[in-house]
Structures are given as C-alpha cells and as structure tokens.
Amino acid sequence: MSELFDRIDALVASRSVLPPPAERKRLRQAHGLTLDEVASALDVRRATVSGWEAGKTEPRPPERDAYARMLKQLAELYPAPTNSAASEQDTAVPETFTSEPAPARAVRTVAAPVSEASAMTATENTQTSAPANAAPEAASRPARIAKPTSTSRRPVARKAAPDGTPAGDIDARFENGPLAVVDVDAGGQVLAYCTGGLVLDVPAKSIPSLVDWTLTEAKLGAPKLSGPGKDADPLLVLTEAALKRYGLPVALTEEERHAGRIPEGHKAVKQLVRAEWKLTKRGFGPWARIYRPATGSDRQCVQLCIPSWNALDTRHWGEAGQLPPAELARVLGVYASRVMTPRGSTAVTGLELMTALHPPTRASEPDADGRRHSEHNPGSLGKDPVDCAPCEAPDNHPLLKDLPRFHVRGPGEKLFEEAYDWARPMTDAECTLRHLVGIDVNLAFAAGANGLVVGLGAPTHVKAPVFDAKLPGSWLVDLSHVDLSRVKVGKDTWANLDASLLPSPFTPKGESPTGPAWYATPTVAYAVELGYDVAPIEAYVRYENGRYLDGWYNRLRDAYLATMADLGVGTDLPPEEFLAAMDGYRLRDPQSAIVVSAIKATVKGGIGKLRERPRGEGWKPGQPWRALARPTWRPDIRAAVISRTRINLHRKIVKHAAFTGQYPVAVLSDCAVYASDGPSPLDFLPYRDGKPLPGGFKLGVNPGLVKHEGTQSVLWGEEVRERFNAPELNLARYIKDGTVTDVDSGE
C-alpha cells in the first residue's frame, strides 16, 4: 500500500499547482532571492528559472514539486495585494506595458513591447509584479516605490540592475539606470525615458542645463566594473524632437558628416563653452562627451548619443535608431547592463570594456604619512603606450618611415595574421552531392581570446630563439616544411590527409608558405602540435604577459548567452533541438535580436580597434596618428587573437577530415562550407548517440561551438562560379541567403 501512496504522491507532484509566471517572479524578488540562488537550490540552470518566470517553459518533476513548495511558502510570507490595493497602486506606479495614457491620470504611461516580459525579466531588478487577477497592464508594473525626484511627474521606481544583482543592492547614485532617451511629447514637455519603464520630466531649456540636470538630479549612471575602475558616465540619447528643442540639427550636412561633428561656432557649442563645459577632441558629434576636468575623485561627464547622426550604425544596431523612446531605452539598457554603457560605436565600446575591466592604475597602499598614490595596476596594459615591433607595424607607421616610398613588405618583413578567406573548386565526387551547407563558429574571436596569454609590455628582440609556446610574441620562422598530408591528430596518432583539399593554417588565403615569415605564437605552436619541428630565426617576444582578455571574454560570453536565452536558445540543448531553436530565433523578439547583433559587433570591433588605422585626421604617411597614443593600440594582441581563432578552426577542420574524409570547399573568417547529401549540418557532422566528434565541430550556442549558417544547392554554387568565371569564388560569403551582390568587393 505504501508504494501505491508513493505513486499517488508522485502523480500529484507532477501536476503541482503553480502561480502565473509574473507572480513567481514577484514572490522571488519580494524575498530578495536572485535567479542564481533559486537555480542553485533546485539544481537547475539560471536560464531555466528565468524561463519559468517568463512563461516560456514549465518545470517538470522532480523540480516542479520543490519549486511549487518554495512559491507556496513565499506566498504565505508575501500575500498578493487585493484588487482594491492594485487599483490604488494603479495611480501611483508608472505603467510599463500599456500603449496609451489614461486621460484621467496625471502620470504619463510608457509604451513597451510585451516581449520585454522575456528579455527584460532576465535583467534582475527590484521591481515586483501585481497579482495575476489584476489588469494585464498592471501585472508587470514596478510595485516598490521610492521617493520621487523633484523634477519627476511620476514616482521613481528602483531600476533595472545587471544580471544577478540581489534585490536591494542597486547603487542609490544610479537608481534610475545607466541611460535615458530624451524626447519631447505632443504637449511640448521634454521627457527622459529610463530603463525599466520610468519616465522623468526634464526641466532643462538648453544643452548646458540638460548636462547639469543629468549630473545633479537624474540619478543616471552605472557602477564601475572593476575595483580600481571608474563609474560609467550617464548616457543621454537625443531623439529628433529633442534635437529640435535644444537647437541642434536633426541631420548632419555632408561636410559635418565627413568631419564627424558640428562646427565649433554652433550655438550649442558656444553655450557649453560659456558654461565652462568642455568637449573631447572628437567634438560635438554622434557620440559627444561633455565634461569638466576632474578635481580629485569628483568626475563630471555626460555622454550623448544621437541616432539621427548615425550614432547607432545599422550594420550593428539594426533599426534601433528608429524605435520609440521607451523601446530604445530598453534595448540600450539591456546592452548596458550586460556589456557596459555604450561609449561610442560597438568597436569603441569593445575596446573601452577591456580598459574598464583592467584599469591602468590603482590606488597604492598608504605610505608612512597615510597617503595613497596612483600606481600601475598589475595585469593591465598600463597608462602609457608602448611601441610595437617593426614587423607588427602596419604600413606607413612611423617605425617604417625610412623605407622606400613604394616598398612592399613581404611575409619576411610583415606579420600578416588575418582571418581566413579561402576556397577551392569542388571535386567530381562533391559535385554529385545535392547541398552546400555552411556552419559558423559562435563568437569566434571571443573564443579565440579566451585563455590566451598576450603581451602586456614592450617587445624584446631576440636572435635564434628556442620557440616557447607559452611566450607571446612574433616569430620569424620557416614553416614551409609542414606537410598537411600527414599530421598529428592526437598524442600518438597521425592521420593521412589530402592536403590539396585543405587550406594551409599559416596564411589567410590558405596558400602554403614558401619560406621564412612572421607569425604570432599560436600559429607557430600549431605547427609543433601537428608534429613538426620549428627553428625561429629571430623574434620579438614579451616577457611581461598575462591573460588580459579573460575578463573581457567572460563578460561578452555571459551577455551573449543571456540574450540568446531570452530568445529561447539555451546552452544545453541537444543538436536537433538547438537547430530548431535557432530557426527564426530573431523573430521571437526583434529587440533582443538587436542586442545580440550589437554584442557580436562589440567582439569583432573591439579586436579590430587594437590596430586602428588613421581616419581623416589630416594624417600623412610616416606620421603618428591619434590611436597610437593609446595603451590599447596593440597590433600584437590583435594578431594573437586572430591567429588563435584561425588555428582553432583549422584544428576542427583537420579532425573532421581525419575522421570522415570530408573537406571544406570554402572558409571565410569563422564560416566553413561543406558539400553534403542533406541540407542540415547533422547530415555531415559525425554525431554518435548525440555526442560530437571529440575536437571537431559541435552544434551549440556557446562561443566556439557552431550553428547553421545557411544551405544552398551544389548547382547554385557551380552556377555562381560559372557566371562570374571564378572557379574559386568563396561561396562561404554568400551561403547564408544565396544572394551574390558584388564578387569583386565581396560585399
């Protein structure tokens, strides 16, 4: 009989009654619990609990019974407000999800998409939800009220915090979030739309007074990301209506766009000068920074973002610049909480994130007089730039000013570590197959940065060094003897391959080297891994080194995975479920998809900025340009990341070829294209019982794993190459949708 009772108990537990998703979150937050704490107690992933609270998934036994038990206990501690209480709350709390204001109320409602219930709920905050039987628009309103600011037409709710922030841990200085979108309503009132649904009245009549209001009353900004670092400055996004109100042009003229700023004689710039505010060297442009020189630890600085001046590049931010103010605040707020408050383009922000996580200086221990001073922060790049090695310098760098004017440096003079752009004609056997399938590495350059040891200081020149795979640097070495037809694929395992069907791992175009050339450490280390000896001729090595990019990788990885989870793509999905989840994932929440795009661009752009070239500064070849004055101008770090990323991909290609006999027909950066009988990656990836080939390609959302990039027919590939008379046209460039726009430019 006891066994029968146990079965009945289990049956009841499998259908344990749970409150609605919004109420689950309200109860958790009312008790000050984080998603991580609940997930740990139930022995599930954080994203799983987030999905339960968003209503995307439902718990299953045995977790369901335990989860129901927790919620029942919390409901006894924190009863849901009555309908009358909810009605009273209606007039006191800013509405978050309604689209039209109630005419009888003095407060303005904030329009936000229903999809915010999934993406924004993943961003921890101290807002609580109304009871399930309340009106729909009340179900997601913030219920915890703080004292209104003197300039707000509505109460100030505690604002959204970065993921995992415990309730009550929000910095009071920045309680209204990292940023605000400034707009003007139909009645002429200037409003600041903050993250989480809050709207503030803005009394400022000019740009200087807007800056003053931001710093003294708006309570915008974000805490520093690292102990020795600096708090993030508040960001104001100005809509076209706000630009008109403050006397700024809605769009830049061709001349202003080329200069990247409005003229110094503009009225708004003169107003700032009179008010003793300063602009950075880039002036009043799409990403203007307005500041006063710091006195001690007192920092006064406001960042402006002007979408109609192309601050939000559509290649990376999609249509974000066209969103209504509340929705734009949501998109930028999610990015700010998970990555950092934007400091400029995604590339600029990617670079700034490196510095924010590893500030160049820190406060020393107190001296004999109890005073502290600024000192070098170990593990950072320091506050002063260092010269690169001559081989690492791009063309026209000051280090190369003595070279003849039209001299072209070859591989024996120039380090040329770039991403793949390689393709080959298809074999007769491949032409008999039906499909070309592209697979793409997720966040490939971030994965290449993970765990990578890079130089922190200046290079040291050495002659005839013994190669050390743990020593970052640039090595002049002959790798032409490495034979890809026989390579080492395990500790004591060698494989025979068809080298004619493989790209060389040592050159971006996949051509085999013909003599000595400069390579970054990961490339030379891979030659050793393949089973071949190396004898460097000379090198520029960096004895001061460390894993500088680890924190940067972790931050961007977590941001990417959290946002993909919002879109319904989790980290532990079996391959078939992962492919299904990725199918049309951007359409589930287009705004979260914008954040994903921006995170990806932050990775690539940040790495690219490490070797920024001169841009319209009246620069002449042989002269220094502005970026060279940055400690983060480090072409050697960029080369090492790209080298490791390319090698990571080649290693998987070799493992796949050794095991299956299949070779890619094209590789572009982080995308590889294979001929296949079927249209899915699972038709050629060697999964066994759901497990991938060790060391080969694995489907999944994590950085370094692969997703389906696109499928076209083999006939399409042959026709395209024939049409453009290009038998080695890189089909990986067009595999996503099959559209070939410009073969010559590769666009």
- What pLDDT shows up at residue 576? 96
Query: Would you say residue 234 lies in a domain?
Result: yes
Q: Is 455 helix (H, G, I), strand (E, B) or coil?
A: strand
Q: What's the pLDDT band for 364 if we cut at 50, 70, 90?
A: confident
Same domain, 72 and 156: no
Same domain, 176 and 309: yes
Query: Would you say residue 669 lies in a domain?
Result: no
Same domain, 70 and 147: no
Instruction: Mean pLDDT check: name the lowest of 138-147, 268-277, 305-314, 605-614.
Output: 138-147
| Residue carrying structure tokens 């990578």 | 452
User: Structure tokens of 124?
Assistant: 């921890």
Same domain, 180 and 324: yes
| Residue carrying structure tokens 């070797």 | 611
- What pLDDT shows up at residue 272? 97
CA dist 210 and 198 (Å) reads: 18
Cβ atoms of 561 and 701 within 8 Å: the answer is yes
Instruction: Mean pLDDT check: name the lowest of 55-59, 482-486, 706-710.
Output: 55-59
| Stretch (H or E) spanning 596 | helix 590-609
Q: What's the pLDDT band for 293 if we cut at 50, 70, 90?
A: confident
Q: How far is CA 659 from CA 431, 529, 680, 688, in A?
A: 21, 18, 19, 13
Give the pLDDT mean for 10-22: 72
The gap from C-alpha 182 to its chain's centroid, in whole angstroms, comes to: 25
Same domain, 295 and 215: yes
- What pLDDT shows up at residue 657? 97
Last residue of a domain, one of 26, 44, 79: 79
- What pLDDT shows up at residue 176? 96
Nearest residue to 639 (alpha-carbon basis) of 397, 379, 388, 382: 388
Same domain, 32 and 179: no
Nearest residue to 231 (alpha-carbon basis) of 343, 372, 375: 343
Residue 163 in this model has a pLDDT that exceeds 50? no
* Prior bond of 263 cis (ω within 30°): no
Residues 6+ away with beta carbon under 8 Å from 396: 621, 622
- What pLDDT shows up at residue 40? 81
Q: Is 146 helix (H, G, I), strand (E, B) or coil?
A: strand
Neighbouring C-beta atoms of residue 662, cutoff 10 Å: 17
Q: How far is CA 744 from CA 717, 729, 732, 733, in A?
A: 17, 10, 15, 12
Write the pLDDT tens digit of every residue in 49-65. Answer: 887 888 778 888 888 88
Q: What's the pLDDT band for 13 if we cut at 50, 70, 90?
A: low
Q: What's the pLDDT band for 8 if we cut at 50, 70, 90?
A: low
Neighbouring C-beta atoms of residue 29, cutoff 10 Å: 25
Neighbouring C-beta atoms of residue 48, cutoff 10 Å: 19
Same domain, 173 and 272: yes
Residue 107 in this model has a pLDDT that exceeds 70? no
Angle between helices 590-609 and 325-338 (to 10 degrees): 50
More confident site: 148 or 394: 394
Nearest residue to 603 (alpha-carbon basis) of 641, 652, 649, 547: 641
CATH number at residue 66: 1.10.260
Query: Would you say residue 296 lies in a domain?
Result: yes
Q: What angle do CA 641, 646, 649 make, to 5 degrees?
A: 125
User: Structure tokens of 643?
Assistant: 């080298």
Write the pLDDT tens digit of every residue in 536-551. Answer: 999 999 999 999 999 9
Give the pLDDT mean for 679-705: 95
Nearest residue to 549 (alpha-carbon basis) of 461, 460, 634, 441: 634
Give the pLDDT mean for 160-165: 41
- What pLDDT shows up at residue 487? 96
User: Structure tokens of 563?
Assistant: 């946002």
Query: Would you say residue 380 lies in a domain?
Result: no
Phi, psi of 511 (to 5 degrees): -85, 145
Nearest residue to 176 (alpha-carbon basis) of 140, 203, 147, 143: 147
| Stretch (H or E) spanning 436 | strand 435-441
Beta bridge partners of 201: 191
Residue 130 in this model has a pLDDT that exceeds 80? no
- What pLDDT shows up at residue 39? 84
Residue 112 in this model has a pLDDT that exceeds 70? no
CA dist 747 and 217 (Å) reads: 47
Same domain, 301 and 169: yes
What would the DSSP string read from start to end of 437-491? EEEEETTHHHHHHTT--EE-S--EEEESPPP-TTS-EEEEEE-TT--TTEEE-SS
Handedness of CA 530, 535, 539, 543 (dihedral sign): positive
Q: What angle do CA 639, 644, 649 make, to 5 degrees?
A: 130
Give the pLDDT mean for 425-444: 97
CA dist 723 and 717 (Å) reads: 10
Cβ atoms of 529 and 488 within 8 Å: the answer is yes
Last residue of a domain, one of 292, 310, 344: 344
Instruction: Mean pLDDT check: name the lowest of 127-136, 364-373, 468-477.
Output: 127-136
- What pLDDT shows up at residue 743? 56
Last residue of a domain, one of 309, 324, 344: 344
Cβ atoms of 659 and 696 within 8 Å: the answer is yes
CA dist 335 and 598 (Å) reads: 8
Count of domains forming the chain: 2
- What pLDDT shows up at residue 126? 32
Cβ atoms of 472 and 455 within 8 Å: the answer is yes
Q: What's the pLDDT band for 386 if we cut at 50, 70, 90?
A: very high
- What pLDDT shows up at residue 44? 83
Q: What's the pLDDT band for 4 if we cut at 50, 70, 90?
A: low
Query: Would you say residue 232 lies in a domain?
Result: yes
Query: Would you say residue 598 lies in a domain?
Result: no
Same domain, 152 and 250: yes
Write the pLDDT tens digit of every residue in 239-261. Answer: 999 999 999 999 999 999 999 99
Cβ atoms of 335 and 347 within 8 Å: the answer is no
CA dist 558 and 190 (Å) reads: 36
The residue segments making up the domain with residue 35 are 2-79
- What pLDDT shows up at residue 97? 28
The percentage of the chain sitting over the pLDDT mark of 70, rounded to a whole number, equals 84
- What pLDDT shows up at residue 155? 37
Write the pLDDT tens digit of every residue in 317-349. Answer: 999 999 999 999 999 999 999 999 999 999 999
Across all residues in the chain, what is the average pLDDT?
86
CA dist 24 and 42 (Å) reads: 15
Q: What's the pLDDT band for 43 if we cut at 50, 70, 90?
A: confident
Cα end-to-end distance, the chain, whole Å: 72
| Predicted model pTM | 0.79
Range 254-278 burial, b when 16+ CB lie within 10 A, else e: eebeeebbbeeebebbebbeeeebe
Same domain, 253 and 329: yes
CA dist 23 and 53 (Å) reads: 8
Size (the chain), residues: 747
Cβ atoms of 140 and 96 within 8 Å: the answer is yes
CA dist 150 and 409 (Å) reads: 64
Q: Give one word for 116, left, alpha or beta, with left for phi > 0 and alpha for psi -120 to 50.
A: alpha
CA dist 283 and 467 (Å) reads: 47
Query: Would you say residue 45 lies in a domain?
Result: yes
What would the DSSP string read from start to end of 213-236? HHHHTS---B--SSTTS-PBPPEE
- What pLDDT shows up at residue 185? 95
Same domain, 233 and 151: yes
Instruction: Mean pLDDT check: name the lowest of 138-142, 298-302, 369-373.
Output: 138-142
The gap from C-alpha 256 to its chain's centroid, in whole angstroms, comes to: 30
Residue 138 in this model has a pLDDT that exceeds 60? no
Same domain, 148 and 72: no
